[in-house]
Amino acid sequence: DGGITQSPKYLFRKEGQNVTLSCEQNLNHDAMYWYRQDPGQGLRLIYYSQIVNDFQKGDIAEGYSVSREKKESFPLTVTSAQKNPTAFYLCASKGGARTGELFFGEGSRLTVL
């Protein structure tokens, strides 16, 4: 079945460590996105990529990095520079439709100990 796969689902990290969250899609979508969700709050855009080897900062990119070496993959690294990394991270993708519909993965919950 086509879809977006995020891993790991749960991740624990010590302060000062970098961690990479995986996002893979087999929908043949060009655009991919990373959002952060904090408890009881909406989604905030971290980074997005419209095409391979290109990506742009979203609203809260500080302390995060991404790469887009393959169309199917858009990993997010949460660096030690991110002051409050504990959150639920959601990856999404969008195909060529003009209406802007996003398809989401099931999310990765990161907890910093």
Contacts with another protein, residue ranges (CB under 8 A): 4, 6, 31, 33, 40-43, 45, 48, 50, 56, 58, 90, 92, 94, 98-107
Cβ neighbors of 69 (< 8 A, separation 6 or more) are 52, 53
- At CA 113, angle to CA 21 and CA 55, rounded to 5? 25
Q: Quote the least distance from Cβ 80 to another protein, whole Å.
A: 26
Cβ neighbors of 10 (< 8 A, separation 6 or more) are 108, 109, 111
Would you give the DSSP letter of residue 30?
S
Q: Quote the least distance from Cβ 15 to another protein, whole Å.
A: 25
Residue among 13 and 44 whose Cβ is closer to another protein: 44
Residue among 85 and 105 whose Cβ is closer to another protein: 105
Q: Quote the least distance from Cβ 64 to another protein, whole Å.
A: 16
